């Protein structure tokens, strides 16, 4: 990954050790916690239905950040969990907060020779692929995901999967099209077997031109960024509504969770 991208994440992790470091900047700690509570519910439901983690399951989480998905995998029963992050600051902090878990400093879009020893039964790459701005690095990252997981194993990832085109979202995020992403996954032997919307109301509608959704998100962000306590109250009120919405929505206007099965030898 280009050095400026690495420096961006080093700065964020050095400035904050909460979910704000990996969540939506400016929305406050409380609202970000509620957003992550929705992520955890969607992730847990999809993993239980496809991966079926147990004591013998070997997992690698990529872009572990504050350790949110490390904890989620262990809560789901995975017996051997390893973590990683691009930022040295985050990797060192994870080693302190999760003693006994192997933690790697890893650039997923980098050299294949620097990958951790695999293969793994499952690899997760949550909310990190759309932060890879360089196209060659993005293609290498998808290929490296396939290398890291055993045939028959699963890759669990989140992406925005736009209906068409691509959009730059801020200085360190690019949303690519569904056709482009699925094409890369399948070219590397990763066949999608499950898709779930991760959000409907509690994230930016990057995959929608609906003016009502855009107005809703704009108003919500202004309110929750004004005071952290407001974010906590609104998050608590909207959390059960969002959990129902992600179950009912067929696509969703925001990020999606994909579970892919590794095919071939």
Q: What pLDDT does 226 receive?
A: 85
Give 71-109 pLDDT, tens digit per residue. Answer: 999 999 999 999 999 989 899 999 999 999 999 999 999
Element (H, E) at 159: strand 149-159
0.85 surpassed by pTM: yes
**CATH number, residue 99:** 3.40.50.150
Give 134-189 pLDDT, tens digit per residue. Answer: 999 999 999 999 999 999 999 999 999 999 888 877 677 899 999 999 999 999 99
Q: What pLDDT does 145 receive?
A: 97
To the nearest 10°, report the CA torsion of 3, 21, 192, 112.
30
Segments forming the whole domain that contains residue 77: 3-262
Count how many domains the chain has. Answer: 1
Return the closest-CA partner of residue 1 out of 94, 89, 78, 85: 85
Looking at every residue in the chain, the average pLDDT score rounds to 90
Place of tokens 């990057």: 206
């Amino acid at each position: 990954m280009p050095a400026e991208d690495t420096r961006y994440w080093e700065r964020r992790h050095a400035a904050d050790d909460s979910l704000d470091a990996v969540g939506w900047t400016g929305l406050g700690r409380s609202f970000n916690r509620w957003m992550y509570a929705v992520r955890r519910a969607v992730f847990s439901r999809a993993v239980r239905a496809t991966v079926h983690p147990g004591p013998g399951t070997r997992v690698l989480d990529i872009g572990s950040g504050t350790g949110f998905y490390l904890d989620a995998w262990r809560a789901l029963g995975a017996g051997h969990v390893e973590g990683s992050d691009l930022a040295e600051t985050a990797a060192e902090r994870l080693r302190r907060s999760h003693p006994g878990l192997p933690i790697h400093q890893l650039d997923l879009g980098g050299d294949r020779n620097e990958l951790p020893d695999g293969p793994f039964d499952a690899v997760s790459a949550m909310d990190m692929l759309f932060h890879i701005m360089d196209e060659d690095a993005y293609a290498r990252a998808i290929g490296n995901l396939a290398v890291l997981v055993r045939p028959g194993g699963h890759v669990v990832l989140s992406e925005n999967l736009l209906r068409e085109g691509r959009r730059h979202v801020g200085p360190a995020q690019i949303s690519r099209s569904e056709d482009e992403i699925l094409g890369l996954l399948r070219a590397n032997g990763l066949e999608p077997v499950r898709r779930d919307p991760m959000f409907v109301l509690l994230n930016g509608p990057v995959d929608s031109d609906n003016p009502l959704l855009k107005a809703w998100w704009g108003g919500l962000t202004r309110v929750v960024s004004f005071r952290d306590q407001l974010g906590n109250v609104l998050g608590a009120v909207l959390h059960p509504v969002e959990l129902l919405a992600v179950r009912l929505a067929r696509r969703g206007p925001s990020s999606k969770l994909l579970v892919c099965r590794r095919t071939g030898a």
